[in-house]
Structure 1
Amino acid sequence: MPAPIFPASMQDGPTVGELGEFEVIRVITEQASSSLNGDDAAVLRHATPNSRAVVATDMLVSGRHFRLDWSTPAEIGEKAILQNFADIEAMGARPVAALLAISAPTHTPVEFIRGLASGIGKRLGEYSAELVGGDVASGESLVISVTAIGALGGSLPELTLGRARPGQTLVAHGRIGYSAAGLALLEHFGRAGVPEHFKPLIDAHCSPRLTPGRGMVARAAGATAMTDNSDGLIVDLSHMAKKSGVRIDVDSAEIAPDSLLSLAGEELGCDPWEWILSGGEDHTLLSTTFGDAPSGFRVIGRVTKSRPDDLVTVDKKTPAYSAGWKSF
Structure 2
Amino acid sequence: MSIAETGEFGLIARIVARLGTGAETLLGPGDDAAVVAAPDRRVVASTDVLVEGRHFRRDWSSPADVGHRAAAANLADIAAMGAQPTALLVALCVPTDLEVEWAEELAGGLSAEAGLVGASVVGGDMSASPTLTIAVTALGDLQGREPVVRSGAQPGDVVALAGRTGYAAAGFTILSRGFRTPKVLVEAHRRPEVPYAAGTAAALAGATAMIDVSDGLLQDLGHIATASVVGIDINRDAFEIPDQMRDAASALGVDPYGWLLAGGDDHALAATFPPGAELPPGWRVVGGVHEGTGVTVDRRQWQGGKGWDHFR
Please say whether Structure 1 and Structure 2 have the same fold, judged by a TM-score greater than 0.5.
Answer: yes
Match for residue 139 of structure 1 among 117, 129, 140: 129
Give matches, 1:240-259, under 5 Å.
Answer: 240-259=224-243
Q: Is the 8 A contact 2:75 2:114 kept in 1?
A: no
| In 2, Cα distance between equivalents of 1:313 and 1:104 | 42
What is the Cα deviation at residue 81 of structure 1? 0.3
1:111 and 2:81 are equivalent in the alignment: no
Match of 1:213 in 2: 197
Q: Is the 8 A contact 2:76 2:196 kept in 1?
A: no
Q: Deviation per CA, 1:163-219, whole angstroms, max 9, x where unpaired?
A: 111111111111111111000000112xxx423xx1111111110011332111100
Residue aligned with 1:226, SS: strand
What is the Cα deviation at residue 327 of structure 1? 1.1
Deviates more, 1:285-294 or 1:313-322: 313-322
Matched AA of 2:33: A
Structure 2 gap segments, 5+ residues each: 22-26
| In 2, Cα distance between equivalents of 1:278 and 1:256 | 15
Matched AA of 1:283: H
Question: Against the structure 1 CA distance between its residues 250 and 226, is the aligned structure 2 distance closer, same or farther, given a 3 Å change threshold?
Answer: same
1:292 and 2:278 are equivalent in the alignment: yes
Match of 1:100 in 2: 90
Give matches, 1:174-323, under 5 Å.
Answer: 174-189=163-178, 193-195=179-181, 198-290=182-274, 291-307=277-293, 311-323=294-306
Residue aligned with 1:231, SS: coil
Q: Is the 8 A contact 1:235 1:322 kept in 2?
A: no
Matched AA of 2:72: L
Match for residue 43 of structure 1 among 16, 35, 38: 35
What is the Cα deviation at residue 131 of structure 1? 1.1
Q: Is the 8 A contact 2:195 2:268 kept in 1?
A: no
| In 1, Cα distance between equivalents of 2:236 and 2:41 | 38
What is the Cα deviation at residue 37 of structure 1? 4.3
| In 2, Cα distance between equivalents of 1:74 and 1:110 | 13
Match for residue 70 of structure 2 among 80, 91, 96: 80
Q: Is the 8 A contact 1:234 1:322 kept in 2?
A: no
Match for residue 68 of structure 1 among 58, 77, 82: 58
What is the Cα deviation at residue 161 of structure 1? 0.9
Match of 2:154 in 1: 165
Matched AA of 2:45: V
Match of 2:43 in 1: 53
Task: Number of aligned residue pairs: give it.
Answer: 304
| In 2, Cα distance between equivalents of 1:320 and 1:256 | 19
The Cα RMSD (Å) is 1.3
| In 2, Cα distance between equivalents of 1:263 and 1:52 | 47
Q: Is the 8 A contact 2:96 2:128 kept in 1?
A: yes
TM-score (norm 1): 0.90
What is the Cα deviation at residue 319 of structure 1? 1.2
| In 2, Cα distance between equivalents of 1:168 and 1:326 | 27
| In 2, Cα distance between equivalents of 1:75 and 1:279 | 19
1:25 and 2:9 are equivalent in the alignment: no
| In 2, Cα distance between equivalents of 1:173 and 1:320 | 25
1:325 and 2:312 are equivalent in the alignment: no
Residue aligned with 1:58, SS: strand
Question: Against the structure 1 CA distance between its residues 259 and 37, is the aligned structure 2 distance closer, same or farther, given a 3 Å change threshold?
Answer: closer
Matched AA of 1:237: L
| In 1, Cα distance between equivalents of 2:291 and 2:264 | 26
Matched AA of 1:179: A
Matched AA of 1:163: G
Q: Deviation per CA, 1:32-55, whole angstroms, max 9, x where unpaired?
A: 214534211112112x3x342100
